[in-house]
Amino acid sequence: MAGRDGRSIGVISAKGGVGKTAVALNLALSLMRDFKKRVLAIDAHTISPNMSLYLGIIDVIPPGLLYALRDPETVRESVYIHSSTGLHLLSGSLTSVREVDLTNLEKVVSTIRGEYDFIIIDTAPSLGDSLRHILKACDEVLLVVNPWLPIVVTNLKAIKIADEMKTPLKVVLNKVGRSREEMSVREVEDSLGHPVAVTIPVDLEVYRGVEERKPVILSNPRSPGSAAIRKLARMLAGEV
């Protein structure tokens, strides 16, 4: 179904473990389920591709992204359709231990974007070449941070690189409400020099969704974490 103009949205952070994959996967599913969008998810965290793991895909599925990066013209054949959710996925390799060159990611995205409304790209924590390739391939990025000083401060560099590359950026503040000592939304905004687009609370159901391989937006759509991710999806869907 050509003729769409898939908006490519990268989910990035300079730090690991902040919730990039949880946000990317549940956002992709919410755009599909709640807002009836055609969505492709790309797992571009080539060292530790967790999207398929979080979906409970236990079979060895073809590492679609690696094939597509080698020859972007083959990208359509490399898309895996997850049977229980219907999500279209370009997965990473579960066995590869080498970092993969993402130079061709932009080409992969431009080859297939006409068939989707959104292309959601999960990424590795990076401030290096892989981040630059991601930024090139994306119309926009979601910067995921937690309200803790080292994470916020390190991500100032991600904002600087996105600004240099003129890639629009929204800040997603995840895992809010864990401790009284954490930074307030205002402090995060002042430190980053960017408004926070959405706050996602720390929510045991989000965590459980990952552990049980049933993404929270499907298993517990009314939990506070799901509601926040749906709000983000609504914001993005409304901008199309």
List interacting residues with Mg ion (CB under 5 A). Answer: 20-21, 50
Q: Segment contacting ligand ATP (CB under 6 A): 15-23, 28-36, 112-120, 135-143?
A: 15-23
Cβ-based neighbour number of residue 80 at 10 Å: 18
Q: Which does 19 bind (CB under 5 to 8 A by kind): ligand ATP, Mg ion, none?
A: ligand ATP
AA identity, residue 2: A
Asked if 50 touches ligand ATP (CB under 6 A), the answer is yes
Query: What are the structure tokens assigned to 224, written together?
Result: 């506070």
Given a contact cutoff of 8 angstroms between Cβ atoms, the answer to whether 155 and 14 are in contact is yes
Q: By CB under 6 A, is residue 19 in contact with ligand ATP? A: yes
Q: Which of residues 13 and 78 has its CB atom nearest to Mg ion in the complex?
A: 13
Burial of 86 (0-12, 13-18, 19+ CB in 10 A): exposed
Of 10-18, 26-34, 63-71, 232-240, the window that binds ligand ATP (rule: CB under 6 A) is 10-18
- Nearest-approach distance from CB 15 to ligand ATP, in angstroms: 7
Of 115 and 203, the one with the shorter C-beta distance to ligand ATP is: 203
**Considering the rule CB under 6 A, would residue 202 count as an interface residue with ligand ATP?**
yes
Q: Tell me the closest approach of the beta carbon of residue 172 to ligand ATP, in angstroms.
A: 10
Residues 151-190 that bind ligand ATP (CB under 6 A): 174-175
Stretch that binds ligand ATP, among 28-36, 94-102, 157-165, 201-209 (CB under 6 A): 201-209
Element (H, E) at 12: strand 7-12
CB of 155: closest distance to ligand ATP in angstroms? 12
Nearest to 141 by CA among 123, 157, 115: 123
Range 147-152 contact pairs with CB under 8 angstroms and sequence separation of 24 or more: 147/173, 147/175, 147/176, 147/182, 147/183, 147/184, 147/185, 147/187, 147/188, 148/182, 148/183, 149/183, 150/15, 151/13, 151/15, 151/18, 152/183, 152/188, 152/191, 152/192
CA 206 → CA 11, 168, 175, distances in Å? 17, 27, 10
Based on CB atoms, which residue is closest to ligand ATP, 16 or 193?
Answer: 16
Give which of Mg ion, ligand ATP, none residue 174 binds (C-beta under 5 to 8 Å, depending on kind): ligand ATP
What minimum distance in Å lies between the beta carbon of 173 and ligand ATP?
10
Give me the least distance between CB of 170 and ligand ATP, in Å please: 16
Enumerate the β-bridge partners of residue 196.
171
**Which of 125, 147, 215, 221 is close enough to bind ligand ATP by CB under 6 A?**
125
42 DSSP β-pair partners: 90, 121
Of 10, 12, 20, 117, the residue at the interface with ligand ATP (CB under 6 A) is 20
Across-strand partners of 40? 88, 119
